[in-house]
Chains A and B, each alone.
Chain A
Amino acid sequence: MDFNFSDEQTMIRDSLARLLRDQYDFDTRRKVTGSEAGWRPEMWQQFAELGLLAAPFSEEDGGLGGGSIDSMVIMEEFGKALVVEPYVPTIVCAGGFLKHAGTPEQKSEHLEAIIGGERVFAFAYAEPRGRYDLNDLETTAKKDGDAYTLNGHKAVVVGAPWASHLIVTARTSGDRRDKDGISVFIVEKDAKGVTTRDYPTVDGRRASEVYFENVTVPAGNLIGEEGKALPLIERIVDEATVAVCAEAMGAMGVAHKQTVEYSKQRKQFGIAIGKFQVLQHRMVDMFMEHEQSISMTYMATLKLDEDEVTRKKAVSAAKVRIGQGGRFVGQEAIQIHGGMGMTDELAVGHYFKRLTMIDSEYGNVDFHMRRYSRLSGEDQAMAAE
């Protein structure tokens, strides 16, 4: 049993924390998220120089030989500063697909560019009618000689306005909700037939609706086996889920800390409001939610490489706690800040918004509660047999 971080992980955390403190203060973030671009490619370059984009990849893939724990460390720091740059779509998702299932050609085509910070990806998996089900796909890919033809509409593709490449899930056979017949493709965003509508999100990011109309994708861009990609997609999405859990734990910690600080400074009825027991206990509850979120994120991160059922249950358990904890911490942070918590000027409202939206990324509390319950049911049925 060891919950310590390696020297390399501690070094990554320290250097990243320093960079974000110096160059990612709240006012700067506000300017960037309100700018036309909405992000800073030069910040992405600095992430590359720090080795963040190489951290979770093996040395033979050109990385630093780390893994999910490194991503967790990075995402926690990103959560503390509300970083908007597309680490999850590019490194965790696209990088994950290439790492786990990419051909040598695909890896050499993309990984070096990803790790170097030259290529940004977005992960186009959600659809207007599919909610959080990864198998609920209406986007189709039809094999046509040496290529596939893609048609469909992907919803709220986070980071797509900044991406040059997309990872797209599509149905190569079967009916809309079948688990079989799902495939994954690399698609260049400027390919003929791809159109996008870009927009800001409520938590300061950018996203797109992405439409595919008879888009020709070479067969070499298929990742993994045709029609058998669902388990792979589930694995990558679990890794992405844990990454946003880590981000949430970073954001919760700051929201809690800012609230405690505010309660020491804000005086009403002649004393600091932090002296009121009713608020003290709520701030203690926030603290406990944050601590348990850390525990659950560690737990899920450490179980990502276990068997499928163990992994899924661990990730769902973590996402349920983080969804509930994030909501509680965010709401209480606003309430205890009073009117000031409602202002755009204070950072705390932005932590609240990000925590709110994390709940609906990669499945909300209900989705993961259901997945956890079903898996537990299957476990029990198996034990009974």
Chain B
Amino acid sequence: MNLEFTPEEVAFRKEVREFIENNYPEQLRGVGAREDLNKEDMLAWHQILGQKGWSVPAWPEKYGGTGWTPTQKYIWSEENARMDTIMPLPFGVSMVGPVIYTFGSEEMKAKHLPGIRDGSVWWCQGYSEPGAGSDLASLKTTAVRDGDHYVINGQKTWTTLAQHADWGFFLCRTDPNAAKPQEGISFILADMNTPGIEVKPIKTIDGGVEVNETWLTDVRVPVENLVGKENEGWTYAKFLLAHERSGIAGVARSKRGVEKLRQIASTELLEGKPLINDDDFLRKVSQLEIDLTALEFTELRTLAGEAQGKGPGPESSILKVKGTEIQQRLTELTLEAVGHYGHPYFRGFPEDGSNEFPIGPDYAHQAAPSYFNMRKTSIYGGSNEIQRNIITKMILGL
């Protein structure tokens, strides 16, 4: 056991930091909310990383991964968080990408992996349905074989940023007569421009339109878009969810969030003195930092295990539960810190189209919407109740 960085790792940090500082797009610096950006801006950093060969660090090297050690990946996250970069979206890089290189055919890998790597193709995830959330296996969207095609019918929901997507991956029922609901599900890719796919925005409580309903009506996709084997999709879906969970902890981002919270609390006043000097408030910030440290070292242990060939197992549920609870408390404390200026609602205001919201300090504008928005984190990616069920079953054996 050793917590020291080696000279190589220190040099790596320097290299990464310089690269980010020199190459991160100017127009994205200081941007707070990703959902307010246009498609081009959201992809900009991904494409720069693609050219550098750093867009998919976690992938095997033969598919374009960097071969970084867990420590290097950790440094990479920290340096990106330091600059608040808009990272590549997870749907291609962390979700469908690993499914394709693990279970897809050679043709499929050749067709789809390059676009995910270079950030030219935008992916969205068609998992949840109105009636199938936590109980994902009860999904009803069907794919019926018709010659060289599958014909897909159904409705998906919470499809994040599907309004920009070029491709989607969908869980569909291909065998309605299977003995168990988990059997008879297939993992199918679809070009989002295929006739019959309709994306309708869902406005959320923070005022954003990040998620969508996706309606699929007689959508014909070629059979070669099936990943792996027909009716084996649940295995791939679970594989993907475990991958999603391990990235969900967001340690580096939360550390950066705590740093920003401290800055805000040093500016805000309580009884004429900086809020951060108040014992009550400081204790809450300290508690958050302590919990974050516990999460950080839990994640490092998990990463070290992965490096020794132990895939992300059920313990990644800890990272999801604790990581999201911390993200939520962070936004809660930030809202608390800004006091009265948490009330003004900035989105769509002023109406003159300028980006300047003249009310209160800049750091206050996002405080309430971020707090509202982050409630989703304990719901998505398998709700935190489901994560606890996984630990109950898989680790406690109950």
Give the B-binding residues of A (Cβ under 8 A). 126, 128-133, 136, 155-156, 158, 176-177, 197, 199-203, 205, 207, 209, 267-270, 273, 276, 278-279, 327, 331, 334-335, 338-339, 341-345, 349-350, 352-353, 356-357, 360, 364, 366, 369-370
Q: Residues of B within 8 Å of A, CB-based: how many?
A: 52
Can you list 22 A-B contacts (CB < 8 A)?
Answer: A131-B268, A156-B341, A158-B343, A199-B344, A269-B135, A278-B388, A327-B332, A331-B375, A334-B375, A335-B375, A338-B383, A339-B211, A339-B380, A341-B205, A342-B379, A343-B205, A344-B202, A345-B203, A352-B205, A356-B368, A357-B343, A360-B342
Give the A-binding residues of B (Cβ under 8 A). 128, 131-135, 138, 157-158, 202-205, 207, 211, 268-272, 275, 278, 280-281, 332, 335-336, 339-346, 349, 358-360, 368-369, 371-372, 375-376, 378-380, 383-385, 388
CB closest residue in chain B, given A126: B340
Residue contact A268 to B372, C-beta cutoff 8 Å? no
Contacts of B269 in A (CB 8 A): 129-131
- B336 is contacted by which of A270, A276, A338, A360 (Cβ under 8 Å)? A360
Give Cα distance in the complex from A136 to B272, angstroms.
8
Q: 18 extra interchain contacts, Cβ-Cβ under 8 A, other than A353-B372, A357-B368? A: A132-B339, A136-B271, A156-B343, A158-B343, A200-B345, A202-B368, A268-B133, A334-B205, A338-B134, A339-B380, A342-B205, A342-B211, A344-B205, A350-B205, A356-B372, A360-B336, A360-B340, A370-B280
Question: Contacts A155-B340, A176-B272 hold; do A341 and B207 have CB atoms under 8 A apart?
Answer: no
- B343 is contacted by which of A136, A327, A349, A360 (Cβ under 8 Å)? A360
Contacts of B275 in A (CB 8 A): 131
CB closest residue in chain A, given B368: A202
Residue contact A207 to B344, C-beta cutoff 8 Å? yes
Contacts of A197 in B (CB 8 A): 358-359
CB closest residue in chain A, given B284: A366
Contacts of A207 in B (CB 8 A): 343-344
Q: Which of A202, A205, A269 has the most CB of B within 10 A?
A: A202
Q: Which of B268, B371, B375 has the most CB of A within 10 A?
A: B375
Question: Contacts A155-B360, A156-B341 hold; do A335 and B368 have CB atoms under 8 A apart?
Answer: no
CB closest residue in chain A, given B336: A364
Residue contact B138 to A342, C-beta cutoff 8 Å? no
Give Cα distance in the complex from A360 to B202, angstroms.
28
CB closest residue in chain B, given A130: B269
Q: Which of B280, B341, B379 has the most CB of A within 10 A?
A: B379
Contacts of A339 in B (CB 8 A): 128, 133, 157-158, 211, 376, 379-380
Contacts of B332 in A (CB 8 A): 327
Contacts of B132 in A (CB 8 A): 268
Residue contact B335 to A344, C-beta cutoff 8 Å? no
- A344 is contacted by which of B207, B341, B383 (Cβ under 8 Å)? B207
Contacts of B336 in A (CB 8 A): 360, 364, 366
Residue contact B345 to A199, C-beta cutoff 8 Å? yes
Give Cα distance in the complex from A278 to B372, angstroms.
23
Rounded to whole Å, the gap between the CB of A269 and the closest CB of chain B is 5
Rounded to whole Å, the gap between the CB of A56 and the closest CB of chain B is 25
Rounded to whole Å, the gap between the CB of B234 and the closest CB of chain A is 15
Residue contact B203 to A177, C-beta cutoff 8 Å? no
Residue contact B128 to A201, C-beta cutoff 8 Å? no
Rounded to whole Å, the gap between the CB of A253 and the closest CB of chain B is 20
Give Cα distance in the complex from A210 to B151, angstroms.
60
Give Cα distance in the complex from A276 to B383, angstroms.
14
Residue contact A342 to B375, C-beta cutoff 8 Å? yes
Contacts of A158 in B (CB 8 A): 343
Residue contact B205 to A349, C-beta cutoff 8 Å? yes
